[in-house]
Structure 1
Amino acid sequence: MGEADLLRRRAEGYLLGLVVRYGELEGPGAASTVCHQLGISAYRARQLAKTAQGVAALPQVLGAIQDDRISADQAGMVAESNKRAPMSEQDQQELLDLGGWQGHDEFKKTVAAREDQRRADDGMSRAERQRARRSAKVFDGTGGMIVLHAEFDQVSGDRVKTALGAMNAKMLGDDIAFDPIRTFEQRNADALVALISQQPADNNDPVAAGVPGGEIRPQKTVLVVSADYDAIESRLKNAGLIDGTPIELDELRRIACDADIVPMIFGNDGQPLYVGKAQRTPTKAQKLALYRRDRGCVGCGLRPQVCDAHHIIPWDQNGPTDITNLVLLCPRCHTKVHKHGHTIQHDTVSGRYRLQPLPRPSPRTHPPPAEQLAAA
């Protein structure tokens, strides 16, 4: 493994040297393009080209990569720090010596600390310098996933950590009470989505005011999806996002349960032929009535403010947005309806709605053994 890592580092150094030279000849944009053609992600290609551009002015650092004294990632840290606060050859050498035995995270802290020392007389505090370095990126990862990477100054970062921790703790309480299957990392991801896609409830909002603990409500966002309509079979198919990424029809129906739908008809050449008005979602009064009637998810009882308004008769089958055609479902139970065939049953005696799983198939009668058939 050590020998393989040595070869990898040397290859990285050699490749980075070539990218440096190519960037000098064709420019950084061309370097990023050729890196992307090597089969790595667009984000990693941009990072490699950015590192090459930075170390081009630091031959001492480039030589250290090619001699396997530091990694390409460590060289990128040094180059970025040099852009913000130019360093002397002695500063470079001290960092190169430390990079030989410090790990990635420890070396990153060392580079930041040395940068603060060099910039001590620039009239800015450490917090101001950190804030100037804040950044956030959202890009496509592997396996069709979306990756969010962000760096904050200490104060903003602590605020984010506190808000994320509080939302995670609230979701943990729901997990304990209703036994959903979520890991800590999955709950953290759900908490981040909730913080970004929801907003504090308005005190004048009758829906939020009528629900105990209704601290947040969904924030209006626009998600453009499309689907083909098969007129012969009278059904939707080929659903996808605006960039062509396919999504399941069940997921499209789940999203549409609590969204404004703007019907549009396109010709074969992609030109819009008809644009209709938005289909109304449940009103605030209807949401309040659902909260008071269902008191939470009709499947598991999860608190109402995290539930969606689900159409019992689907919207794509002309299901009306009436209170008698709506029930509250949490995201987990909502998935059971759209993906696993669960249905909504109405108890006419109590007036309550409940989630009904598919009936279990009756046991099959095994055929008699072959010898019995032969005897008969």
Structure 2
Amino acid sequence: METTFGTGGVCVAAADEAGLSDEGLRGRLGVIGRVECALVAMKAAVLGEIARREDAGCAERAVRDVLGASCRDARRDVKLGVQLRDLDVVRQTLSQGEMPVAHARLIARAAAEGPIDERVLVDAARLQSYERFARTVRRHQLDLSADDGKSLLDHQRDKRSGRMFTSPDNGMVVLSAEFDPIAGAQLASVISAKERELWRDEDPAARRTPQQRIADAIAELILQPDGKRSSGTSLLIVADYDVVQGELTRARLTDGTPIPIGELVKRACDADILPAVFREATGDMRLGRTRRTASAAQRAALVFRDQGCVGCGKSPNYCVAHHIIPWKVGGRTDLDNLVLVCNGCHHDIHDDGWTVHRNRATGRYELRPPAVASPRRRGPPGADIAEPPSRGDEATQYAA
């Protein structure tokens, strides 16, 4: 398998994938990923130059005419091309296949919203997963903001948008919208709470997919607005308490997204402010064998402690509370026996033998793969959960 990167282009030799070992297939995938990054950088350079010579509209038409792309994809590609013209370090790193495309888009978006240190973010992008890097970018933007992030939040609110259209692919009606982080977090909490309610009410022998439940939850919330509000829909805002100054600092959403202190003050009346030191005395953290599902207080504590999936870092809104020692073998519904995991990582635990461990150095929980990989079991997993699944791999349209 021969791969060549250089100023003249990128070349990847053909390979017989069926004859490669598991390690060889993973290596092949890595090579393909680097090549894809280099090609995206090349396309961005071409589109950026077309936009410079003419305008963005002409560049979008070129993408549609030459590549047969959709209007949405053309607009997205041209936007990246225009943004990368002023980001030399990002463009070079991407062309060398040393940064994922999604990470480059995050940096480009941040640069369009305010000041950034390009090299600092590029160095972080080489080492961090997408979810962790997204949080890094948000924190970086706030650190460089001169007004505690207020102008950034105002910019995001100005960029809010929504669309409703019939897909030409399958005739399905599509709802698409973008919100600022605070509005998005509120929506995510309401939708995921409704989905958990639907999960509890459905027949265990005929479960809907997570995506179907999300669609049904959104439809019910819109079509039946006067229905009873599901529990667990409060907007959770976490802040540290400065004992010396006697004030709250470092306000943030539960996924780590920083927010201006001014927003914390405005929302203090209708948000649950969790202290940075969440002691068991603040809520019922030990339910033992009296209840299999996590309580609202337990979930809030888990959200603060784990900040997302302990396996991949996905937002808490898309996570379930998993018993470390399974309920069916005597595990208790206590905070120290629960962790947050997303739907995919939950399947890794129950189907592929991944296990939960606590890192002694950091004190944080994490997932570890089995010593010997096992084939994924077919059919529905025998999941032992303290809450219903709250996301599927495609359920990202209302991410906070």
TM-score, scaled to structure 1: 0.46
Give 1 or 2 for the bigger CA radius of gyration.
Answer: 1
Higher RCO (CA < 8 A, seq sep 6+): 2
TM-score, scaled to structure 2: 0.44
